Every structure is written in structure tokens, then in C-alpha cells.
Homo-oligomer: A and B are copies of this chain.
Amino acid sequence: MAQWRSYLSHLECTACGLHHDADQLQTVCTACGKVLFARYDLDGVRQAVQPSNFACRRWDMWRYWELLPVRDPANVISLGEGLTPLVHVRREAAAVVGLERGQLELKDEGQNPTASFKARGLAAAVSRAKELGARSIALPTAGNAGSAAAAYAAAGGLASHLAMPRDVPELNRVEADVYAAEVTLVDGLISDAGRLIREMAPRNGWFDVSTLREPYRQEGKKTMGIELAEQGGWGETCLPDVIVYPTGGGTGIVGMRKAFDELEALGWIGPSRPRMVVVQSEGCAPIVRAFERGERFAEPWQNAQTIAAGLRVPVAIGDYLILDAVRETRGTAVAVTEQHIREAQLEMGRLAGVYAAPEAAATWAAMRTLRRSGFLSGDERVVLFCTGMGLKYPAPVA
């Protein structure tokens, strides 16, 4: 039985490069305020483990413990996050959205605890925060991150404090209640909720686990990329040609890019990368606009409105990291209409047997745009990220 060991070495600022001690609670760069990344002793990892070792380990994302930040497994708060399936979409269904000859797969993150990909990041962040002494956590949320944060806090015996727009999906509020979170409702968007948390957290001794404002949610998200490599059998050709990702705060894309870089440094995958496609709603598309304008930082979006609560993020602290990832991989960024999102929910259900959240359905809707524009030829292996389950949202109607 292999011994648990994290090879976490330090934290590094993604903008100015300043190093920070990984073994105390940190938020953003103390010098420039930008995002901190966890760094690992990859030489140590390479000597300790080979890709084939992972298969025999536990059935959750913690099987990749060498590349995760928790030092003592007793501090891991796990509800079974990760190891989500790549659901194969039958040929006739894939053809409907323009993939006549290729292969269409759905990474079904709705099968995570609390029914969304948010479980990964918050399992990592809450576990590590507990390890470093935090007794309560706080965050602003558009819905699903709050549900996940509250669940992991409850499982680990920590208190949780959420700030969320008054109009988040009702079932996210129910979840917060069931997990006994303290909730503050805000008349505004997640960015307004974020300001509130940044004001209240230090005053009350809550540890702030906002997206990319602490270094470890990112590490949980990273496991989506590691899993794609394992599901593809590791090596030069294990990754899909294209990843289509619904983008709010964008940590999924940023995390997978980081995963692929680490795996390449370890020699476990080759240098080629999936083309990364950002999908947003026409009601809130700051990254798409910045991509089209050739800018590295995205201007805040005014009057953000979309049924896809998780895409209603007018400003993303990691905008430059997302846009870098898209451009480096010759990807693209597309916005879809609200109407197409609703239609896509029904079409995915009817043709693929997956009831996806509107965010996830946006990726299905984007397929036709990508094919029509020539970005896709119809021969590719494409993975759509179904970041969450449809059940929490108002029902789509035919």
C-alpha cells in the first residue's frame, strides 16, 4: 500500500512570481494582489509514483494525493468527489450537433457530491483550510459553490457563511439550510456578494475561500484534467482534441491547464493540448468579448442576466489566466443565446440521457456554432463539461 504524501512545496504568484509559504493560510499575493498557485516538487513525485499506480487507489480525486495540497490524510474531508464518468454520446446523437464522424463525450460533473463540479475545489480548499487551522469558512456564491462549501464544512465540523444573490436557484438555498450554513442574501450579483464577504470575513475570523482568492480550490479543479489523462490511458494521445467549458469564474479551464502542464513536466502526457473553448451566455460574456477584442483582461459586464446562474459572473479575477489558456491552445470563445441554452437542455436529455444544468447545456448549444464557424470539422474527439445537474434549476419547457 502506497504511503500518502503531498509534494506541495510552496505558493507562487501567477503575476509577479513572488514565493509564499504554503504551510500557513494564504489568500492572494501579498505584493501584487494577484492569484497564487500551489507548486509541487515534481522530481519527487516522478520518483514516488507512476501513472499506473493510481488505478488501484481510492475511488475519488484524492487518489492523486502526491499532486494535491493536504499533507495528512486525516484532514481530508471527502464526500466522494471526482472520478466522474466520460459519458459516451451515441453516434446519431452526436451527428445532430455536427459531430458526424468524431466522438462526443460528456464529463458528467453532476455526479459529484452536491451535484456539481464545485465539490472538487471546495473539498480541497476546506480540507486544507482545516489542516491549517481554520474553524469557519466564508464565500460569495451564485449557488452551487455555496452548496458545496456548506456540505464540506458540515462533514468536517466547520462553520460556513455564504453570501448569495437573493435570486439564486431555490434549491441552492434549501441545500444551504440543510447543511446548516449561515446565509446572507444580497440584492445584486455574485460580485456584490464578494465585496460583502471580503468586508465581513476578516472582521469575524472567517477564512475566505472565494474563487482564486485562496490557492487550493484551484487544486481540486485540477483533478478534472488529471482524470481526463487517466481516462484516456495516459501518454501522448490520451487527451481529447477539444474541451468545451462553460465559463463563469473560469477556474475549471485554469485548473486543467495547470494539470496538463504538471503532467507534461512529469512526462506522463505529451506536449499537445486540447483546444480550449470558453462558452458563455449572451447575457453575460465578458471573456468572449475580451477574446474577440484581443485583450488579456476582461472589462466588467454590465447588467449581467442569464438563467445559467453559474455564468452570471460579470468579472473574473482569473480573466488573464483563462484567456491565456484559450489562446495558447488555439481555442476560441463563443456566446450562446438563452433560448438555445433552454433548447439544449431538452435535446441533451432526449438524445444523451443527461439532464444538465443550463451552464452545461450551453456547451451543447455551442457545438452547432463551432461546427458552422469551421472551428470543428466533425472528425474531432470532443469533451463537453457538464458542470452540474439540471435538477436545481427551473424546468426547461418544450
Interface string of A64-90 (1 = CB under 8 A from B): 000000000000011110011111101
CA distance A191 to B178 in the complex (A): 32
* Number of A interface residues in the complex (CB < 8 A): 56
Task: List, in ascending order, chain B residues with CB within 8 A of A346's CB.
Answer: 178, 180
**Is A390's CB within 8 Å of the partner chain B?**
yes
Task: List, in ascending order, chain B residues with CB within 8 A of A153's CB.
Answer: 353
Task: List, in ascending order, chain B residues with CB within 8 A of A389's CB.
Answer: 115
Which listed residue, B84, B90, B155, B355, touches A80 by the CB 8 Å rule? B84
With A92-B157, A179-B355, A353-B152 already in contact, the answer to whether A111 and B112 are too (CB < 8 A) is yes
**Is A60's CB within 8 Å of the partner chain B?**
yes
**Is A55's CB within 8 Å of the partner chain B?**
yes
Verify A79–B87 contact, CB threshold 8 A: yes
Chain A, range 340-398, C-beta contacts under 8 Å to B: 345-346, 349-355, 389-392, 395-396, 398
Verify B88–A391 contact, CB threshold 8 A: no
Verify A174–B395 contact, CB threshold 8 A: yes
Question: SS class of chain A's interface: helix, strand, loop or mixed?
Answer: helix
Which listed residue, B56, B152, B231, B350, touches A55 by the CB 8 Å rule? B56
Verify A151–B79 contact, CB threshold 8 A: no
Verify B92–A349 contact, CB threshold 8 A: no
Verify A87–B78 contact, CB threshold 8 A: yes
Which listed residue, B86, B90, B152, B395, touches A155 by the CB 8 Å rule? B90
**Is A156's CB within 8 Å of the partner chain B?**
yes
Name 18 extra pairs, CB < 8 A, besides A80-B108, A115-B391.
Answer: A55-B55, A59-B85, A59-B231, A79-B85, A79-B108, A80-B85, A80-B87, A111-B112, A113-B353, A154-B349, A174-B391, A178-B355, A178-B390, A179-B349, A179-B350, A179-B355, A180-B346, A180-B350
